[in-house]
Amino acid sequence: MDGVFDDEVEQTVTIDEYLKNVEAEELNADLVLGGDEGNECTYNMGYMKRQAIFSCLSCTPDGNAGVCTACSLSCHDGHEIVELWTKRNFRCDCGNSKFGEFVCKLFPKKDVENAENSYNHNFKGLYCSCDRPYPDPDVEAQEEMIQCIMCEDWFHDEHLGLESSNEIPRDEEGEPLYEDFICKTCSTVCSFLTLYPKTIQAAGGKGDATYSNAKDKDVLEDVPTACGSGKLENDICANNSSEKDNATAGKASAVGESSWKNSGSNDSNQCTKDTNLHTTCVLGVDVEVTSPVSEGKPLFLSKNWRDILCRCEKCLDMYNQKHIRYLLDREDTIVEYEKMAKQKREEKLQQQEGAELSFFNKLGHIEKVEILNGIADFKDEFRSFLVCP
């Protein structure tokens, strides 16, 4: 988007290219909004697993409330809105007790408060451990931030608590080689993750020796599922003495790594194929007793890492106690959310098929883009662009 209107570029961009650009932005907007058309307040749908949430600094400057897409458009048009991307387990607050006299135009009969909602400094328009706004007016080049899947706050590379941002698993183009990120504060809550094979964490930081091995592969392909595998037991025997041996960080040895303690290997015959409910703990240890004290290191998780999380009774108890049961829920992930959004988008586009989209039809969707980018004068620029050849 930036650059399209730069004087130099402006002359060379064709309307076709421009519309493609608008379409890409529109898709992007649809992905965030989860295919929500923004017509109805989502309050009646209760605490939604995930939805786009906005905070209105004009109405609730303390950042103690959030509103749905429709409310941000209908009730808070022209207000100072912060776009919070998506949040889990949230119910629209628009017009409840936090808004004083203000009444929601779409669904005014709300409870005074949504007790299950949680709010962080994002609702005040601040992000990261450095507590800065985004975009940051004091910074020239805005840096993309990384979202922690647990607290859902966003972080600058240099504030993740890493020695160097080279430790972030990314490919040459800077695309992430990890599926999920857990910030250093939240990592103390899930120190049990260190009991899983090291491959649950994504490899590929520029300073990582396994980088070239890992980058083209699904790094979890050899990780045993609930039932473990013969290979695992063999490897454990073979690697019995390899405590803290990181020298051979190849894939085979990583699977059998000593941190993968499987004291219950005799039980492996009783394993069921049902990975949704484990009878035997995948970890084979008493998680509460054995969970190491975490040093609070940020975690980058590999693709499909949630699938190998143990679902035995003890582990389920633990997740519940820690209020992190959502980690087992596929629908909690951004990937699933975007998949659903794409589906809704395709259905929508199919409905419109035949009735060729007119130019002004497209302008309707641009409203969404406008919110996402905070480009208030988007339409004006767009019109003047069309007027000048």
Residue ranges in contact with Zn ion by CB under 5 A: 41, 56, 58-59, 68, 71, 75-76, 79, 92, 94, 104, 106, 128, 130, 148, 150-151, 156, 159, 183, 186, 281, 310, 312, 315
Which C-beta is closer to Zn ion: that of 214 or that of 226?
Answer: 226
Q: Closest distance between Zn ion and the C-beta of residue 210, in Å?
A: 25
Which C-beta is closer to Zn ion: that of 31 or that of 48?
Answer: 48
Which C-beta is closer to Zn ion: that of 261 or that of 339?
Answer: 261
Helices (H), the chain: 7-12, 15-33, 69-74, 184-187, 211-214, 230-238, 251-255, 287-290, 313-321, 334-352, 359-373, 378-387
Question: What is the DSSP code (8-state) at residue 267?
Answer: G
Q: Closest distance between Zn ion and the C-beta of residue 357, in Å?
A: 28
Which C-beta is closer to Zn ion: that of 305 or that of 382?
Answer: 305
Q: Tell me how far apart the alpha carbons of residues 234 and 80 are, in angstroms, rounded to a whole number.
A: 61
Q: Closest distance between Zn ion and the C-beta of residue 14, in Å?
A: 39
Q: Closest distance between Zn ion and the C-beta of residue 157, in Å?
A: 9
Which C-beta is closer to Zn ion: that of 88 or that of 253?
Answer: 88
Residues 6+ apart with CB under 8 A from 70: 36, 38, 39, 40, 41, 42, 106
What are 301's strand-pairing partners?
A: 180, 201
Cβ count within 10 A of residue 24:
12
Using DSSP's 3-state secondary structure scheme, residue 193 falls into helix
CA atoms in the 13 A half-sphere facing the CB of 246: 8
Q: Closest distance between Zn ion and the C-beta of residue 117, in Å?
A: 12
Residues 6+ apart with CB under 8 A from 24: none
Nearest to 92 by CA among 60, 121, 61, 139: 60
Q: Closest distance between Zn ion and the C-beta of residue 195, in Å?
A: 10
Q: Closest distance between Zn ion and the C-beta of residue 145, in Å?
A: 8
Residues 6+ apart with CB under 8 A from 213: 203, 250, 251
Which C-beta is closer to Zn ion: that of 106 or that of 255?
Answer: 106
Q: Closest distance between Zn ion and the C-beta of residue 152, in Å?
A: 7
Helices (H) and strands (E) in the chain, counts: 12, 8
Q: Closest distance between Zn ion and the C-beta of residue 154, in Å?
A: 9
What are 170's strand-pairing partners?
A: 176
Q: Closest distance between Zn ion and the C-beta of residue 26, in Å?
A: 22
Which C-beta is closer to Zn ion: that of 182 or that of 214?
Answer: 182
Which C-beta is closer to Zn ion: that of 186 or that of 214?
Answer: 186
Cβ count within 10 A of residue 39:
10
For residue 1, the Cα-to-chain-centroid distance in whole angstroms is: 23
Using DSSP's 3-state secondary structure scheme, residue 366 falls into helix
CA dihedral 272, 275, 278, 279 (to 10 degrees): -10
Which C-beta is closer to Zn ion: that of 76 or that of 88?
Answer: 76
Which C-beta is closer to Zn ion: that of 41 or that of 327?
Answer: 41
